[in-house]
Amino acid sequence: MKLFSLQQNPDLFKPATEEEKSQQDVMSESVSFFKDGCRKLMKNPLAVFSIIVLAIIVLAIIFVPIFVPYEYDEMLSVNGKRDKGAKNLAPFTYSELEQEYIDNGGQRFPHIFGTDEQCRDYFIRVIYGTRVSLIVGIFASVIVLIIGVLYGAISGYVGGKADMIMMRIVDIIYALPDMIIIILLSVVFREIITFPSGSLLSRLGTNMVSLFIVYGLLYWVSMARQVRGQILSIKENEYILAAKAIGTKSGRIIKRHILPNCLSVIIISTALQVPSAIFTESYLSFVGLGVSAPMPSLGSLANAAREGLQSYPYKLIFPAIMICLIVLSLNLLGDGLRDAFDPKLKK
Amino acid sequence: MTRYILKRVVLAIITVLIICFITFFAMNSIPGGPFNKEKALSPATVAALNARYNLDKPIPQQFALYMKGVLHGDFGVSLKNGREITDIIKESFPISAKLGLIAVTIALVAGTVFGSIAALFRNKWPDRVIVFLSTLFTSMPSFVLATLLLLVFCIRLGWFPVWGNEEVSYFLPVLSLAAYPMAYTTRLAKTSMLDALSQDYIRTANAKGVAKWKVIFKHALRNSLIPVITYAGPEIAYIITGSMVVETIFTVGGIGSKFVTAITNRDYTMIMATTIFLATLMVVANLLVDIVYKLVDPRINYD
C-alpha cells in the first residue's frame, strides 16, 4: 500500500515557481504598534477635531503676539499719550482718542476682545493667559511624568521589600487631600520665597512655583501606581521569560519589552494630566493664589472679570470659552488615545 | 474584615497626624509673629501676649499644646477678628454640610440614572445628548459654571436673588457644585452599566424570561453601582474644594468661603484650623467610602 511506503513523493520537493514564491510576499508593510495606534486615532473624528483645535490654539499663542502691536501689560496710548478713555471698551470699538487718530488717517489695530479696566488690550491678554495656562499645565504634567514613571518603574521592577515600603509611602501621599495642601503651601511660599526679579519664575510668581512643587510632591502617585501595576503584569508574561531564557540582558528587556508596553498607559495619563493641571491653576487663581499680576492666566482673567460682570460679561466669556475649549479637546484627545493605544481594548 | 477596617483606620489616623504636622510647621515657618502690626507694641506687651498664647515656648511644645487644644475642639482665635475659631466653624459648617450633602446626593443619583439611560439607549439620541452634556460639564471649572449661572439666572433673568440665605438660593450653588461630579458619575455609570449588561447572568435571566425592568434593576443596576461607589471618595473631596469657590461666588456663608476669606486676609490661625478641619473631613469621608465599598462587594479582597 502506498500509504505505508517510505518512498517520498518527489513532487513535494520541486523548487517553487515564481508564482508560488510571490504568494509568500507580505503585501502590506508591517504595521508597528505605534503606527497602528496612530491610524486608529486618525479614524476617530472627535480626536482629530481636538487635535485640530489644539493645533490652532498653539499656533495662535505662538504667532498672534507677533502680529498684534500691543503687549499684555501695556496700557494703551495714542501717539505716546496715555489713552485714558480706552477703559472697558466693547469688542471692536475704539476710544474717542483712537477714533480721532483714525479719522486723521492713522492706522490702529482693532481691539478684537475690547479692553480691560486698566486700558489694556483684552485680546492679547487672553492669548497670553492661554499661553501661561498651557505652559503651567504641560510643565506640571512633565514633572508628574518623570517622577511617577521613575518611582513606579523602580518599585515594580525591583519588587520585594523595597516595593512594599515604596507603596506604603504612596498610600499615605494618596490619602492626603491635594488641593488643600496646595493652598496651604502656596500661602506659606508666598511669604518665605522670593526670586531674583526679571527671571521667568519671578514673573510667574511664587504661587506657580508652589503649584509645581506640590505636583512634584503629591500628584505623581497615581502615575507611579499605574506604571508599577503595568510593569508587575508585564513581568509575568511568557515572552519576558522567553527573553530571559535565551539570555537577553535586563537592559534590553526593559527597553524592548517592558517600556513599549507601558508607553500607552504613560501617554494616556500624561494627556489627561494636562487638563487637570490647567483646572488646578485656574482654581488657584480664583482663590487668589494664581500667577502674579500683571501676568495673566485664563483663571485669573476669569476671576478678574467677576468684578464688572453685570456690565462687561464678555470679559468672563472669552477666557471661560478658552478654558473649556482647551480642557475639552485635551479630554477628548486623551479618550481617543486610550481607545487607540490601550492594548486591553483591542478586539 | 475587622482587620481590614482596623488597618484603614490606622492609616487614616496617620494621615490626619501628618496633615496636622505639615500644617502646623508650614504656618510656623512664615516669618513674623502675629503681633507684628503697623502700630508697634511695647516689648513687655509682646512678651505678655506671647506668654498668653504659648508663643514663648519651643516649637515642639507649641505643637503638642496646639494638638491638645484641637483634640478638645479648641482651634484658638482668629487673627483678624479675635473670635473663637471653633465658634466660626460651628456656625458656618452646617451651611456647607447641607449644601455639600445635597450636591453629593444629586450628583450620585442623577449621575447613575443618566448613565444607565445612556447605556440602555446606546447609540440612540438619549445616549448622544447625555454623552454630549456630560463631556461639556467635565470640561468646565466650577467657578466658570457658577459665574455663568449667576450671570444668566440672577442678573439677566432675575429669577433668583443675587444675595440671600433663603431656601431658594441653594438651588444655583448646588447645581454648580454638582455639575462636574454628576457628569463624571454619568460617564462612569454608563461604562459599568454597559459592562454589566454584557455579562452572562444577564443573558441567563433574559433567556429564562425574566421581565425586562426586573433584569435591569435587580441584576444589571446593582452590579453596575460598584464603580460609582468608588468614585464617591474623590467626589466628596471635589465637592469640599469646589464649595470654597461656589460659596464665595454666591456669598453663602459656609466654611469654604470663610477659608477663602482667611487666605486673602492672611489670617493664619484660621487657615490652619480650616485646613486641618477640612482635610480631616476628607480623610474620614474616604475611609467611610472604602469600608462601605468593601461591605457592598464582598468579592473584593485587599489583603
pLDDT tens track for A297-319: 888 888 888 777 777 888 888 88
The answer to whether residues B286 and A175 touch, using CB atoms and an 8 Å cutoff, is yes
Asked whether residue B152 falls in the same domain as residue B269, the answer is yes
CB contacts of B26 in chain A (<8 Å) are 184-185, 187-188
pLDDT of residue B103: 92
Q: Is residue B23 part of a domain?
A: no
Mean pLDDT of all residues in B249-266: 84
If you measure CA to CA, which chain A residue comes closest to B263? A187
Q: Is residue B182 part of a domain?
A: yes
The answer to whether residues B70 and B276 touch, using CB atoms and an 8 Å cutoff, is yes
pLDDT range class, residue B46, cuts 50, 70, 90: confident
d(CA A298, CA A71): 16
Asked whether residue B41 falls in the same domain as residue B177, the answer is no
Q: Is residue B1 part of a domain?
A: no
Q: Which amino acid appears at position A70 of this protein?
A: Y
Query: A287, A312, A331: which to substitute to probe chain B, counting the most B Cβ within 10 Å?
Result: A287
The number of folded domains in chain B is 2
d(CA B21, CA B276): 10
Q: Is residue B93 part of a domain?
A: yes
Element (H, E) at A82: strand A81-82
Q: Mean pLDDT in chain A?
A: 81
Mean pLDDT of all residues in B196-217: 88
How open is the CA angle B264-B266-B272, to the nearest 5 degrees?
110
How open is the CA angle B82-B88-B92, to the nearest 5 degrees?
155
| CA-based nearest residue to A282, from A310, A251, A316, A246 | A316
pLDDT of residue B261: 85
Stretch among A5-19, A154-168, B112-126 having the lowest mean pLDDT: A5-19
pLDDT range class, residue A28, cuts 50, 70, 90: low
Residue A345 has pLDDT above 80, yes or no: no
Mean pLDDT of all residues in B85-110: 89
Q: Mean pLDDT in chain B?
A: 83
Partner B contacted by A179 (CB < 8 A): yes
- Give per-residue pLDDT as tens, A31-44: 677 777 788 888 88
The answer to whether residues A220 and A143 touch, using CB atoms and an 8 Å cutoff, is yes
Please tell me which of the candidates B15, B138, B150 has its beta carbon nearest to residue A331.
Answer: B138
CATH, residue B249: 1.10.3720.10
State the nearest Cα–Cα gap between A322 and chain B, in angstroms. 10
pLDDT of residue A198: 63
pLDDT range class, residue B298, cuts 50, 70, 90: low
d(CA A182, CA A176): 11
Residue A154 has pLDDT above 80, yes or no: yes
Name, in order, each residue with C-beta under 8 angstroms of B106's C-beta and a sequence gap of 6 or more: B174, B178, B182
Q: Of B43, B74, B105, at which residue does a domain stop? A: B74
pLDDT of residue A252: 85
Asked whether residue B121 falls in the same domain as residue B170, the answer is yes
Asked whether residue B37 falls in the same domain as residue B110, the answer is no
pLDDT of residue B293: 79
pLDDT of residue A346: 47
| CA-based nearest residue to A275, from B149, B35, B210, B140 | B140
Asked whether residue B181 falls in the same domain as residue B273, the answer is yes
pLDDT range class, residue A56, cuts 50, 70, 90: very high
pLDDT of residue A246: 92
Q: Is residue B8 part of a domain?
A: no
Residue B303 has pLDDT above 50, yes or no: no
Please tell me which of the candidates A177, A323, A332 has its beta carbon nearest to residue B279.
Answer: A177
Grouping H, G, I as helix, E, B as strand and the rest as coil, residue A77 is strand
- Give per-residue pLDDT as tens, B209-223: 888 888 888 888 888
Asked whether residue B112 falls in the same domain as residue B202, the answer is yes
Q: How many CB pairs under 8 A join A and B?
A: 114
Residue B141 has pLDDT above 80, yes or no: yes
Please tell me which of the candidates A187, A310, A323 has its beta carbon nearest to residue B141.
Answer: A323
The whole domain housing B35 covers: 31-74
Asked whether residue B35 falls in the same domain as residue B176, the answer is no
Name, in order, each residue with C-beta under 8 angstroms of B107's C-beta and a sequence gap of 6 or more: B178, B181, B182, B185, B235, B239
* Higher-confidence position of B77 and B133: B133
Residue B39 has pLDDT above 70, yes or no: no
Q: Of B9, B41, B74, at which residue does a domain stop? A: B74
Asked whether residue B69 falls in the same domain as residue B94, the answer is no
ipTM comes to 0.78
CB contact under 8 A, A331 and B147: no
pLDDT of residue B251: 80
If you measure CA to CA, which chain A residue comes closest to B287? A175
CB contact under 8 A, A324 and B275: no
Element (H, E) at B196: helix B171-197
- List the grid coordinates of A132: 501661561
CB contacts of B286 in chain A (<8 Å) are 175
* Higher-confidence position of A92 and B206: B206
d(CA B190, CA B211): 21
Asked whether residue B162 falls in the same domain as residue B50, the answer is no
What is the phi-psi region of residue A247: left when phi exceeds 0, alpha when psi lies from -120 to 50, beta otherwise?
A: left
Q: What is the DSSP string of A114-151?
A: -B-TTS-BHHHHHHHHHHHHHHHHHHHHHHHHHHHHHH
In B, what residues contact A, Cβ < 8 A?
Answer: 11-12, 14-15, 18-19, 22-23, 26-27, 29-31, 135-136, 138-141, 143-144, 147-148, 150-151, 155, 237, 240-241, 244-245, 249, 259-260, 263-264, 266, 268, 271, 275, 278-279, 282-283, 286
Q: Is the pTM of this model over 0.90?
A: no
CB contact under 8 A, A184 and B151: no
Residue B18 has pLDDT above 80, yes or no: yes
Q: Is residue B268 part of a domain?
A: yes
CB contact under 8 A, A316 and B151: yes
d(CA A267, CA A10): 56
Please tell me which of the candidates B15, B144, B275 has its beta carbon nearest to residue A302.
Answer: B144
- List the grid coordinates of B188: 462612569
Query: A50, A182, A186, A188: which to substitute to probe chain B, counting the most B Cβ within 10 Å?
Result: A188
- Give per-residue pLDDT as tens, B155-192: 777 777 765 555 557 788 888 899 999 999 998 898 88
pLDDT of residue B171: 82
Stretch among A20-34, B4-18, B255-269 having the lowest mean pLDDT: A20-34
Residue A163 has pLDDT above 70, yes or no: yes
Q: Is residue B45 part of a domain?
A: yes
* Higher-confidence position of B42 and A198: B42
Asked whether residue B49 falls in the same domain as residue B177, the answer is no
* Highest mean pLDDT: which range of A149-163, A184-198, B43-57: A149-163
Asked whether residue B44 falls in the same domain as residue B133, the answer is no
CB contacts of A323 in chain B (<8 Å) are 140-141, 144
Q: Is residue B166 part of a domain?
A: yes
Angle in degrees, 0-180, between the axes of helices B222-249 and B171-197, rounded to the nearest 10: 160
Element (H, E) at A299: helix A298-304
Asked whether residue B125 falls in the same domain as residue B272, the answer is yes
Q: Which amino acid appears at position B45 of this protein?
A: T
Residue A197 has pLDDT above 70, yes or no: no
Q: Of B21, B46, B74, at which residue does a domain stop? A: B74
